[in-house]
Amino acid sequence: MKISNYFDVDTKSLNCFNIETATDTKRYLDPTKIVFSNNKYFNHDLASKKIGDFFKTLLELHDDNRENEILELLKNIHEVNDTHLGESKNKVNGHGPKFDALVEAMNTISDIEKIVKLDKNVILSTSLVFNIFVLDFGPDSYSDLITNIIYAELSDYTEKILKVYGQKMLPHKADRFSWNEKKHSWEKIVVKYFEIDGERIVLFPKKIAVSSHQGSSVKYLQSVIFDKIRADLLKNDPKFKANQKELKKIVKGMYPGMTSKEIDISLTKTNPDLFLKFCEKLTKDNKGKS
């Protein structure tokens, strides 16, 4: 059953994302979209602050050599399938985020943060660093992490949407965890239930769920990095021409055996302005479109 069927409303007029209750939809929560969300029932300002503070906290702990505390933060993240988003095809059976990659990437992230002179208080830049430059950390795990961080805001949004459609949360409650941006730690929260046919449901605005993250390593590569490589090739040969597909083949030849993220890391370390340009591009593209 889809949420629109349950609420008995037209899909186009539905305020929330139209999830299916018995399976996962291959979509991911996108922090960039959350920053620019203007849904009146969703506290995007607080959600954005929490996401920024979480990643800022990881960076600061790493810079202070407090690795054990990083491990504790990551270890205490709980698997949550309430959004019904992710990779599973026929059943909600996700395995939750895999965080070994985050731990292994902290040196790289810290190096880039120092080179770029990242403003750790800016949600867009801090969340993008962790999405683009962490190897072996896919969109599903990243989305799961975001869900954990802003679970309180998603639960609050769910309750408001239920009221819009004349529904109520169930009387019994459940323990969940959400990020506390003031204490810089996880906190246990007690939230009311909403479920359909025994499936726990948490709702979210349509526009914060995407088929691919705007700040992905591939999009970073194919925008500002491709632009730089094209410009460099033009300097050597003013007659150089190549469409995006041809340029992709050229770049693969220039960096044999390297993944998009590995190329991104390599070029960003020597050209830190590329990352800032990408942040500016996403900001420009999203303003007024939420």
pLDDT in tens, 44-83: 999 999 999 999 999 999 999 999 999 999 987 877 889 9
Could you give the CA distance from residue 68 to residue 14 in angstroms, rounded to a whole number? 44
- Rounded to a whole number of angstroms, the distance between the first and last alpha carbons of the chain is 27
153 and 42 Cβ atoms separated by less than 8 Å: yes
CA 268 to chain CA centroid, Å, is 20
Classify 91 as helix, strand or coil. Answer: coil
Q: Residue type for 38, please?
A: N
Among candidate residues 266, 260, 258, 269, the one with its CA nearest the CA of residue 223 = 260
Among candidate residues 26, 23, 1, the one with its CA nearest the CA of residue 91 = 23
Low-confidence ranges of the chain (pLDDT < 70): 88-98, 119-123, 288-290
Could you give the CA distance from residue 94 to residue 97 in angstroms, rounded to a whole number? 9
**Neighbour-count burial of 198, counting CB atoms closer than 10 A to its CB (0-12 exposed, 13-18 middle, 19+ buried):** exposed
Residue tagged 């950390």 (tokens): 137
Could you give the CA distance from residue 84 to residue 221 in angstroms, rounded to a whole number? 29
For 247-263, b where at least 16 C-beta lie within 10 A, e where not — what string? beeebeeeeeeeebbeb
pLDDT in tens, 84-129: 998 754 444 444 456 788 999 999 999 998 888 876 656 677 889 9
In the chain the beta strands, taken as DSSP E runs, fall at 28-29, 170-180, 185-193, 195-196, 199-200, 209-210
| Residue 172 confidence (pLDDT) | 81
**Neighbour-count burial of 197, counting CB atoms closer than 10 A to its CB (0-12 exposed, 13-18 middle, 19+ buried):** exposed
Q: Are strands 209-210 and 185-193 parallel, antiparallel or unpaired?
A: unpaired
Phi/psi-derived region of residue 80, left when phi > 0, alpha when psi is between -120 and 50, beta in every other case: beta
| Residue 54 confidence (pLDDT) | 96
Residue 231 φ then ψ, to 5° = -65, -40
**Neighbour-count burial of 290, counting CB atoms closer than 10 A to its CB (0-12 exposed, 13-18 middle, 19+ buried):** middle
**Average pLDDT score over the chain:** 90
| Residue 90 confidence (pLDDT) | 43
32 and 290 Cβ atoms separated by less than 8 Å: no
Compute the C-alpha angle 46/98/49, nearest 5°. 10
Tokens representing residue 142 in the block: 């990243």
Tokens representing residue 145 in the block: 């992490």
